[in-house]
Chain A
Amino acid sequence: MPEYLIAIDDTDDIGTRGTGDIAQQLGQILAIDCGGVASPVTRHQLLVHPDIPYTSHNSAMCFALKGDISPQRLKQLASELLEAESAAAADPGLAFMCLSSFTSNAALVEFGLAAKRRVLTKDEAYGLAADIGVHLSEHGGTGQGVIGALAGLGLRLEGNDGRLKGHFDVGQGDDELSLPVSVLLAQTGVDAVIALDDTELADEVPVRVRGKLKAVWRQGRSAILVSFRDGAWRNAGKQELKEY
C-alpha cells in the first residue's frame, strides 16, 4: 500500500482556523476517501525573519497517509479543502510525495533544515521539487506557503523536529496523576517516553502527568517529552516543548 507524506503551510490568519486543524481535516478526508490511515500531524517551526511574510507563527504542518490513492486524487481533494478553508489573507502551499518510491531524502531534509536557518525563495522550492519529484502547488494569495510546505516534508523526514498537534487526556485533568510509562504509551498510542536528553524511559518508570500532555517528533517517531523535576519524572511544560 502506498504511503504519502503531505505538508501544508500558510493557510491561516488571526482569528481563523489554524493550519494544524486544516491539516488534520485533510488527513481525515483523504483517509476516508481511500480507506487508508492518516498519521498524527506534526508542527514544524520555520525561521522567523523580517524578510519572511507570515501571520504569527511561520510553522508548517505535516502528516503521513497510508492508502491506495492516486496523486491526482490526493491533489484534487487537498486543493478543494485548502481553497475552501484557508483565510482570505493567507498564501497557502501544498507539498506531497509518495514515500514508497522516494529516493531523495537527503536533499529534502537539507531544504527543511535550511528553512530554519535562512530565508528561502519560491524559486528554490520549485526548483528542488521538480528535481526530486515532489508535488508542490500554491492555492491562493502569493503562494508563498509552498516554501514552508516543502520544508515541512523535509523536517518530518529528518525525524527530529516538531511537536505533534493536540494533546492527550489520560485522566489527569488539573490534578497530578502518576502513571507508568507502559500505561502512558498504551493510552496515547505514542511510540516512546523520552527525557530532554533523548534517553528513553523504561516501561515501569512512573511519570507524573498534569495539564497538557503533548508529544514531540524524535528519532522518526512520536514521543512524550518528560523532565526530572522535584524528585520525579513529569511531563514537559510548554517552555520545554517550545524548543521542538
Chain B
Amino acid sequence: MTDFFECRGGRWWYRHGVSLTEARLAAGACQGFVPDDEDEQVDDVPLSCVNCAWRRWEQGSFQCLYLKRLHPDNSL
C-alpha cells in the first residue's frame, strides 16, 4: 500500500496523480479503506482510494489521511 504513496512533510501523497489503476490496487492492499459518502465517490469501481473517506483531495492528486494516522512519526 505504501508503495503507491510518498511521504513528504509528514503527509502521504499519492504518487500517480489521479490515475484510477493504481488507486484501485492501493485500496485493495489497504486495511483502512472506508467508503466515502456516495456523492463524493468518483470511481465506478467501489474499492478505490479516490472513493475512500480518508482521501483528501489536493491540486492534481490527493493525500491519504489513513497513512498519516497510521505512521504519525512518518516511519514504516
Tell me the A residues contacting B by CB distance below 8 Å. 14-15, 18, 20-21, 43, 48-50, 55-59, 163, 165-167, 211-212, 237-239, 241-242
Contacts and interface: CB of A to CB of B under 8 A. Distances in A.
A173 B61 CA distance: 32
Contacts of B44: 211-212, 237-239
A21 B58 contact: no
Interface of B: 20, 34, 36-44, 53-59, 65
Contact of B53 (A15, A239, A242): A15
Given A58-B57, A239-B44, A18 B39 contact: yes
Chain A contact surface mostly: loop
Contact of B39 (A20, A55, A58, A211): A20
The residue among A50, A56, A212 with the most chain B CB atoms within 10 A of its own CB is: A56
A57 B37 CA distance: 11
A241 B54 CA distance: 21
Contacts of A59: 40
Given A15-B53, A56-B57, A20 B41 contact: no
Contact of A48 (B38, B40, B41, B59): B59
A241 B38 CA distance: 12
A59 B59 CA distance: 15
